[in-house]
Chains A and B, each alone.
Chain A
Amino acid sequence: MPISRDDVLHVARLARLALTEDEVERLTHELADIVEAVGIVAELDLEGVPPTSHPRGLVNVMDDDEPRPPLPLEDVLANAPDHEGNLFRVPAWRQ
């Protein structure tokens, strides 16, 4: 299935990337090539093959419900591009 310009725009919106016109143009071609190359996985009949989301079969790795000290507030905010008091600040969601 070839990748269209609309696909690229749709995916860019999902991924929250404000692509420039040039980038849209270039990615449309590049993604089409890459998707064609990786699309050969479709050749294999994998009916009944279980998917692997993890290379090792670990299960039930859990931690006890015992609190550990949180970060000091100055560390929490140390890298914040913007904050107001102890709160991170960002322009509001556009309705």
Chain B
Amino acid sequence: MSWEPVIGLEIHVQLKTKTKMFCRCPVGFGAGENTQTCPVCLGFPGALPVTNRVAVEWTILLGLALDCTIAERAVFARKNYFYPDLPKGYQISQYDLPLCKDGKMLVPTADGDRVIGIVRAHLEEDAAKTVHVGGSTGRIGGAAWSLVDYNRGGTPLVEIVTAPDLHSPEEAKRFLQLLRQTIVELGISDAEMEKGTLRVDANVSVRPAGSDELRTRTEIKNMNSFTFIARGIEAEVERQIAVWEAGEEVRQETYDFDAATGRLTPRRAKEEADDYRYFPEPDLVPVEPDRRLVERLRAELPELPAARIRRIEGELGLERAIVLVTGGLDRLWQETVEAGADALAAANVVANNLVRAGVDPELVSPKELAKLVGARERIPRVAFDEAIARLGEPGFSADPYLAREAVSDVAALDPLVDAILAAHPEQVAAYRGGKEGLLGFFVGQVMRETDGTANPRVVSDLLREKLAG
């Protein structure tokens, strides 16, 4: 029997507002422990929350980008539970009346757009950070402590919940890349998984392909990169298939993904079933977004990544288009093409050379880049790489690099090529035996001997000719 994964995602995005969600403490990384706190975010007796207007507007903006219905009336609710990182004994979140719901995001694929439902996007406050010290790992089993830093506590967090519309780990990864790029382009969050400003949990189940049943799902947490998310889901899908095929039942559990081992470890069952006793937060009043504000924000929405992929894929093919757009590189590519560069060549240079060199696309002059793209076969590789690396420098001009000619003179290269082939008889034999991929090895040797000044195309042609002979 073949199986189909059914995947839903729960995504938390930390907004990069200047202040926290319900107090005006500054938000920021790197400040001294507990120095960005006040009576409100420490939960001191009598302290009261006050909603951050910008966080509300940004959540609406994100909701619009996700094609959500923006609530006529949204209500903050208390989610009650005890934890060391939760100073009030409840988290202010949204429950039955979230700011945004019923949206969708399109994921372009070779077979048309996949529509991924967005169940809701709501606003809440982040928890504080706890560090665990000491503990029972040693034989002596010293006291285990939690040390709490409330700096992060109260940072605005948008929770986005998708419908279980994703059907492969790869699709989940692709969706997340697009979502992340959308969030970054809206300017509301850095959305960096390594920093924890973007966090993803996945709900996973499997079902016989072709059926529309929903079987017991499990939750996977702690996946801190898109690649690990795909791997974590993959591992869980395989595990569940094995369970069903062994005639057993998948149990509703939560797993942590360990990136180092690629293993899933179940979390221990809680002593008490969750009962968060949500009720409307009486210290806050409802949010009723002004329709004019909503329309203004809608008008401000930039062209979204999925639409741009569709727009440029004709010229580049879908995969290249996705790489450029989710890498935030398509605008530079577009302008470089407008400055006269070949579309495919520009796409390759932007997506490969520029990214490898770590150049910020925002700082690059499309005109200078276009010149380099045009000359990349003509000028020495070292000159090209050096020029690419310096593209982001203020006032960069490609002209000095364009003046440097690669050695294309066959007569000059011929003895060198002979010498290289003579020095590597085994590789020559292997190439002639069918391992044509070794051509790159020989080109590399020649380039090294010429300090990168040889024209790689001329070298390849020469090598091919000699090796064939």
A-side residues, CB < 8 A to B, are 10, 13-14, 16, 53-54, 58-68, 70-71, 73, 76-77, 84-93, 95
Contact = CB atoms under 8 A, between A and B. Distances in A.
Interface stretch (B1-9, B34-42, B358-366): B34-42
Interface in B200-247: none
Contacts of B36: 70
Contacts of B53: 62-65
B155 to A, nearest CB: 12
Contact of A90 (B42, B73, B145): B145
Nearest to B82: A16
B34 A66 contact: no
Contact of A93 (B37, B50, B84): B84
B111 interface: no
Nearest to A86: B33
A10 B277 CA distance: 13
A88 B35 CA distance: 12
B24 A62 contact: no
A86 B129 CA distance: 13
Given A16-B82, A53-B75, 12 more contacts: A53-B282, A59-B287, A60-B290, A64-B54, A65-B18, A65-B24, A67-B24, A77-B34, A85-B33, A86-B149, A90-B148, A91-B144
A71 B149 CA distance: 14
Interface size class of B (residues with CB under 8 A): 35 or more
Contact of A87 (B51, B54, B148): B148
A86 B51 contact: no
B285 interface: yes
B272 interface: yes
A90 B85 CA distance: 11
Interface string B261-282: 0000000100110010101101
Interface in B316-367: none
Given A66-B19, A92-B146, A73 B25 contact: no
Name the prevailing secondary structure of the A interface residues: loop
A91 B17 contact: no
B288 interface: yes
A95 to B, nearest CB: 6
Contacts of A60: 285-288, 290
B140 interface: no
Contacts of A16: 82
Contact of A92 (B51, B132, B280): B132
B232 to A, nearest CB: 22
Given A13-B272, A90-B148, A92-B145, A67 B19 contact: yes
Contacts of A77: 34
B89 to A, nearest CB: 8
15 contacts: A14-B275, A53-B75, A54-B286, A61-B50, A61-B285, A63-B24, A66-B19, A73-B34, A84-B145, A86-B35, A87-B149, A92-B134, A92-B135, A93-B84, A93-B146
Contacts of A10: 272
B19 A65 contact: yes
Contacts of A62: 50-53, 56, 287
B143 interface: yes
A70 B35 contact: yes
Given A53-B280, A62-B50, A87 B131 contact: yes
Nearest to A82: B145
5 nearest CB pairs, A to B: A92-B144, A65-B54, A87-B147, A62-B53, A53-B280
B18 A66 contact: yes
A5 B362 CA distance: 66
B55 interface: yes
B301 to A, nearest CB: 20
Contacts of A13: 271-272
B388 to A, nearest CB: 39
Contacts of A66: 18-19, 24
Contact of B148 (A54, A71, A88): A88
A88 B34 contact: yes
Nearest to A73: B35
